[in-house]
Amino acid sequence: MMARYQRQMVLGEVGQKGQRRLLNSRVLVVGAGALGSAAATYLALAGVGTVGLVDGDVVELSNLHRQILHDSDQVGVLKTESAQRRLGALNPDVRVVEHPVFLNRDNTLGIFAPYDVIVNGSDNFPTRYLVNDAAVLLQKPLVDAAILRFEGQLAVFRPGLGCYRCLFPEPPPLGTVPDCAVAGILGAVAGVMGSMQAVETLKLLLGLSNDNRLRIYDALAGTWYPVPFMRDPACRVCGDAPTVSTLIDYENFCGVAAGLDDRGSGVAGEWSVTVDEADSLLADPNLLVIDVRDPREYAAGHIPGAVRLNLEDLDAWVSHHADQKTLVVCQVGIRSASATEYLRLNQMDAWNLAGGTRAWEASGRPLSQEDAQNT
């Protein structure tokens, strides 16, 4: 049975003893998505004896560019089932436990209880805070990662040494952080981060992990940056006087229960519209579309009829367009969100296009290279 692991048992840090320890370990992977796929694959190959997977979703075609546990034949199948088949074929030593549910305040502590380490590969903020709080309450180590575009964040939270809420006490307001459906993700970046989660989990199980850092991976620059952090004595979950002693309603905590959906990137969440919602604004002949990108970006392609305006000139522009109804656009919706907020502060009827020109183009709508006149 041990022959399979010969090349890793050669490592002094593993050996026969370490390998036995791995075979007797139980790791729960939350989310059988992009991160969970990579993490669970390496954990199973390394011979972690029990690998649990929590995910209530089924496999979709758009998952397959990054979720390496699943393939074209599994579209429509529960992700936990698809994962079980793959991991079982990769390493029959491993017991794969399927939890084909979405975590909530009622089922999480019970699901987490038998596991030694929790690996967080969830894809939304309510689940991230839920998983963190449950791990703190049960005093289980948590290996957390999250990805967006070309960026990855990785953190190992060990009991008593800080938690996700020590880094980010409050969830971001709805609409201020785009998800991967809006902003995109390179599959290989998710693979890097999920593999790192497996590395950190194996280190925890083998007693090789001792630091307390967030690590930021910048795939475009090809760099990793360690960000040291400390447990926050004021943390509401792991601080000196915690106020969260049981799981709460995380949808509510993160504002999702308010009935709003994800508004894309930017600071002006409540004044953001999706490309589809922008159609009704654009039907108004009095609407003006302003594009706050630089001349080069504008020339490369803009929403037909959009006029270009420098952010620096916004102040002067406001004084001449007091009652103008405006849709503000940039590349992905961040600069335009700032501009929208500024116009709103000046009592203007301004809206931000979430996802910007990129989302407009991705929806199949045309771009123009013709210069529209700024009036």
Partner 1 sequence: MTVHLPGDLAHEFGAPAHHITTAENLNALLQELDRQYPGMANWIAEVNGSVRQHLSVFVDGRRLEPTAALTTSLAHAQEVWILRAVSGG
Which residues of the chain form contacts with partner 1 (CB under 8 A)? 31, 33-36, 120-125, 128, 145-151, 153, 166-173, 176-177, 179-180, 183, 185, 190, 214, 216, 218, 220-221, 225, 227-230, 232, 265, 267, 292, 294, 310-312, 330-332, 334-335, 337-339, 341-342, 345
Nearer residue to partner 1 within complex by CB, 228 or 366: 228
Q: Report residue 23 as tokens.
A: 């075979």
Rounded to the nearest whole angstrom, what is the least distance from the CB of residue 214 to Zn ion in the complex? 13
105, 110, 91, 101: which is closest to 44 by C-alpha? 91
Nearer residue to partner 1 within complex by CB, 74 or 340: 340
Bridge partner residues of 98 (DSSP): 53
Q: Which does 163 bind (CB under 5 to 8 A by kind): partner 1, Zn ion, none?
A: Zn ion
Q: How far apart are CA 285 and CA 127, in angstroms?
A: 43
Residue 333 phi/psi, 5-degree rounding, is 105, 10
Rounded to the nearest whole angstrom, what is the least distance from the CB of residue 106 to partner 1 in the complex? 22
Rounded to the nearest whole angstrom, what is the least distance from the CB of residue 170 to Zn ion in the complex? 12
Q: Which does 330 bind (CB under 5 to 8 A by kind): partner 1, Zn ion, none?
A: partner 1
Rounded to the nearest whole angstrom, what is the least distance from the CB of residue 218 to partner 1 in the complex? 6
Q: How far apart are CA 156 and CA 142, in angstroms?
A: 6
Nearer residue to Zn ion within complex by CB, 39 or 238: 238
Nearer residue to partner 1 within complex by CB, 221 or 322: 221
- Residue 165 binding Zn ion, by CB under 5 A: yes
Bridge partner residues of 103 (DSSP): none
Nearer residue to Zn ion within complex by CB, 52 or 162: 162
Print burial letters for 92-123: b (CB count within 10 Å at least 16), e (below 16): eebebbbbbeebeeeebeebbeebbbbbbbbb
Q: How far is CA 359 from CA 94, 243, 333, in A?
A: 42, 40, 9
> Are 287 and 351 a contacting pair, CB within 8 Å?
no
Rounded to the nearest whole angstrom, what is the least distance from the CB of residue 239 to Zn ion in the complex? 6
Nearest-CB residue to Zn ion? Answer: 235
Residue selected from 117, 163, 174, 332 as contacting Zn ion according to rule CB under 5 A: 163
- Residue 99 binding Zn ion, by CB under 5 A: no
Q: Which does 191 bind (CB under 5 to 8 A by kind): Zn ion, partner 1, none?
A: none
Nearer residue to partner 1 within complex by CB, 93 or 179: 179
Give the x-and-dash track for 211-250 against Zn ion (CB under 5 A): ------------------------x--x------------
Rounded to the nearest whole angstrom, what is the least distance from the CB of residue 144 to Zn ion in the complex? 12
Nearer residue to partner 1 within complex by CB, 34 or 111: 34
- Residue 155 binding Zn ion, by CB under 5 A: no
Q: How far apart are CA 150 and CA 220, in angstroms?
A: 6
Rounded to the nearest whole angstrom, what is the least distance from the CB of residue 283 to partner 1 in the complex? 29
Which chain residues interact with Zn ion by CB under 5 A?
Answer: 163, 165-166, 235, 238
